[in-house]
Amino acid sequence: MSSLKKSIPEFLAHLKSLPTSVTASNNVLTICVGNESADMDSIASAITFSYCQYIYNQSSDSDKDNLTIPIIDVPREDLSLRRDVKYVLEKLNIKEEMLFFIEDLKDMREHIPHGAKLNSYLVDNNDIPKNLKNYINNVVGIIDHHFDLKKHLDAEPRIVRVSGSCSSLVFNYWYEKLQGNHEVMMNIARLLMGAILIDTSNMERKVESSDRLAIKRCQEILNLAADEATAQGLQDSDLFYKEMKSRKNDIKGFSVSDILKKDYKQFNFQGKGPKGLEIGFSSIVKQISWLFNKHDGEAQFIKQCRNFQSGRGLDVLVLLTSWRKAGESHRELVILGDPKVLRELVERVSDKLELQIFGGHLDQGVAMYKQLNVEATRKQVVPYLEKAYSEVY
Ligand SMILES: [Mn+2]
């Protein structure tokens, strides 16, 4: 085993330098993967978890050669749609070529020895992402802040609890396990803080005790940084947040399909029938009227949405827009699909989400609502609609 790779970029470059047959030890290849939206939280959590596991294993005699590879669950070319993530990674000298994406996972799967197993830690997710079901054999550990699907009950750790950001749970887990190892904590604090601040709107919304604890610990560590260069200006979390947020909200120059897939999750809702409902959710950082203006008007925009819908084999496509204006949060919900299905679904979630129609019509297979319950994000909207579906079908 070569010498200890101390920083995150060194660790990632080390992983990249090894052939797959070496990373698979004892006929097992171990990865860590976030959810398919591949947002800052998922990416930061997966990289950090793998890095800390590596540092931790180095101090044990038996596990020294066990490596965990962080996987980002989108194609490599889609990283460019995440301008906030790119900004943070660049700031920390983590280069795109050091990262592993879906294509890399597929490639690894082909190159591990015949009969070898692929084990996965899940972060920001508590079941195997749908598109990876055929690649992953076992789930060995979970840290997540989504609704607990009560699967993989023997995973270790298995931490699934309410938290503004999964990154807070990942930070606290390793902070305790590595007993506050100062150098390692300094490395991960800078990455995880980015995700925590984005997920909690700079510690103003969705903040839980786990987030407060993680941010307090991160700031203590960054304040101890020997010099400005080491902390890279990250002690000023307000400024850091503003820089990230403006990049996250910058979707200028993206095509409609880019906008729809930038922060996207797809599900198959199970009813009594055999087929289920294939449904996609795109979270979007701009108001629907802004999207119409920038993309040749309502008719053209909706047409592109329908193309996206048929391209992905979706029965229903839901756009969840959110933006802030003068300190107030706003949300809209746009739903496309078969009129009868839409009517059944909307009827059952309308009260909870406080929906007010402002465009389209259910009979035409597309309806647009103001969502006055601005606290409900995709994390809540998905289970509401899933429950509605299971009540009817
Ligand atoms: Mn998350």
Task: Look at residues 216, 245, 274 and tell me which one is the last residue of a structural domain.
Answer: 245
Q: 273 and 182: one domain?
A: no
Task: Look at residues 197, 222, 245 and tell me which one is the last residue of a structural domain.
Answer: 245
> Does the pTM exceed 0.85?
yes
Q: 262 and 235: one domain?
A: no
Q: Which domain holds residue 352?
A: 256-392
Task: Look at residues 184, 218, 245 and tell me which one is the last residue of a structural domain.
Answer: 245
Does the residue 3 lie in any domain? no
Q: 160 and 289: one domain?
A: no
Does the residue 26 lie in any domain? yes
Q: 192 and 285: one domain?
A: no
User: Could you tell me the distance, in angstroms and rounded to a whole number, from the CA of residue 163 to the centre of ligand 1?
Assistant: 9
Does the residue 221 lie in any domain? yes
Span 108-166, pLDDT tens digits: 988 888 888 999 999 999 999 989 999 999 999 999 999 899 999 999 999 999 999 99
> Rounded to whole angstroms, how far apart are CA atoms 309 and 318?
10
Above 80 in pLDDT, residue 61?
Answer: no
Q: 187 and 40: one domain?
A: yes
C-alpha of 30 from chain center: 20
Q: 55 and 180: one domain?
A: yes
> Rounded to whole angstroms, how far apart are CA atoms 96 and 79?
8
Q: 54 and 147: one domain?
A: yes
Closest CA to 343 of 309, 278, 393: 393
User: Could you tell me the distance, in angstroms and rounded to a whole number, from the CA of residue 224 to the centre of ligand 1?
Assistant: 28
Q: What are phi and psi of 307, to 5 degrees?
A: -60, -45
Strands 138-144 and 158-160: parallel
User: Could you tell me the distance, in angstroms and rounded to a whole number, from the CA of residue 338 to the centre of ligand 1?
Assistant: 30
Q: 288 and 313: one domain?
A: yes
Q: 202 and 299: one domain?
A: no
Number of structural domains in the chain: 2
User: Could you tell me the distance, in angstroms and rounded to a whole number, from the CA of residue 165 to the centre of ligand 1?
Assistant: 5
> Rounded to whole angstroms, how far apart are CA atoms 361 and 370?
14
Does the residue 341 lie in any domain? yes
> Rounded to whole angstroms, how far apart are CA atoms 156 and 126?
12
> Rounded to whole angstroms, how far apart are CA atoms 14 and 106?
20
Q: Which residues contact 134 (CB under 8 A, 6 or more apart)?
A: none
Would you place residue 1 in the very low, low, confident or very high pLDDT band (cuts 50, 70, 90)? very low
Q: What string of DSSP letters covers 128-179? A: --GGGTTT--EEEEEEE-S------TT-SSEEE---S-HHHHHHHHHHHHTT
User: Could you tell me the distance, in angstroms and rounded to a whole number, from the CA of residue 168 to the centre of ligand 1?
Assistant: 10
Does the residue 250 lie in any domain? no
Q: 239 and 96: one domain?
A: yes
Q: Euclidean distance between the first and final Cα of the chain, in Å?
A: 56
Span 26-35, pLDDT tens digits: 789 999 999 9
Does the residue 199 lie in any domain? yes
CATH number of the structural domain spanning residue 153:
3.90.1640.10
| 330 SS3 class | strand
* CA pseudo-torsion sign 34, 38, 40, 43: positive
Partner residues linked to 265 by β-bridges: 281
